[in-house]
Amino acid sequence: MSERDSIIREIAARVLDIETLEALMGWPSGWTAFGSVGTEWFHWLRLMRCELSRLG
């Protein structure tokens, strides 16, 4: 193994996955997920956009 390969492996071993980072920061699990928003505001906004598009 070359010195370059060992350096790359060492750096890659230091990278944190998102679950570990959330735990270290004290955030709830899944807090940083990119999923769709599931709040009431989101559902209302989607409904209003649909209704407004019917008007014009």
Q: Does residue 56 surpass a pLDDT of 70?
A: no
Q: What's residue 46's pLDDT? A: 82
What predicted TM-score, i.e. pTM, was given to this entire model?
0.37
Q: What pLDDT, in 10s, does the model give residues 10-36?
A: 877 777 788 888 888 888 887 777 766
The DSSP code sequence of 1-56 is: --HHHHHHHHHHHHPPPHHHHHHHHTPPTTTT------SHHHHHHHHHHHHHHHH-
Domain borders along the chain are 3-55
Q: Does residue 38 surpass a pLDDT of 70?
A: no
Instruction: Provide the 10 A C-beta neighbour count for residue 40.
Output: 7
